[in-house]
Homo-oligomer: A and B are copies of this chain.
């Protein structure tokens, strides 16, 4: 489990890598009520829209050079030479990003949710959704960025966004489901299902892609 320690060590010093995205998240969530004078219900309506987009953007920011730095300085080569299971390492790496960025963002998001909707239940229900969706976003962005490793993150974004939009739609549905007291758990299970597939497959695909890049 050295890789876990190594990644943490790197991120600790590179606060831009994890604190940055979290700060951006806070910035967005703080700024949006400022931008328009909302009535209270409107605020609530817009809140979730902003919330999901903010989560998406933050995960995008967080993963922007998740592999690029290692590629540029030659660490990725070393990794490919020295590790048996590249996909495992990649899985762990994504996990750490999630732990350092996904979890705080989910927490902060729930707190904002509490602040805006004043509904403790809502905040509680939204928290696991945030956790899962941030993890899915992270995985997908990592996939896009691995494909376009040397080509810059635009292409990465262009490629990943279509993969994400369906998830956004589902997230919109979840909010409605919570509001109406409907099948919230069905959605949660759906998301969990998607996550469990992604968590296994994406690192495998990424490791394949990275090997192909170095070739």
Contacts and interface: CB of A to CB of B under 8 A. Distances in A.
Interface of A: 14-17, 19-20, 23-24, 27-28, 30-38, 42, 45-46, 48-50, 52-53, 56-57, 60-61, 148, 151-155, 157-158, 161, 164-165, 168-169, 171-173, 175-176
B20 A35 contact: no
Given A154-B20, A155-B15, A32 B45 contact: no
Contacts of A23: 154, 157-158, 161
B172 A36 contact: yes
Contacts of A32: 49-50, 53
A48 B28 contact: no
A157 B42 contact: no
Contact of A48 (B35, B48, B158, B169): B35
A45 B48 contact: no
A64 B168 CA distance: 26
Stoichiometry, copies per complex: 2
17 contacts: A16-B148, A16-B151, A16-B154, A20-B152, A23-B154, A27-B164, A28-B53, A32-B50, A33-B49, A34-B172, A35-B171, A35-B172, A35-B175, A36-B48, A38-B49, A46-B46, A46-B50
B53 A19 contact: no
A164 B27 CA distance: 10
Contacts of A161: 23, 27, 31
A57 B173 CA distance: 25
Contacts of A151: 16
A97 to B, nearest CB: 15
Contact of A168 (B31, B45, B164): B31
Given A157-B27, A161-B23, A161-B27, A35 B15 contact: no
Contacts of A52: 31, 35
Contacts of A28: 53, 57
A45 B36 contact: yes
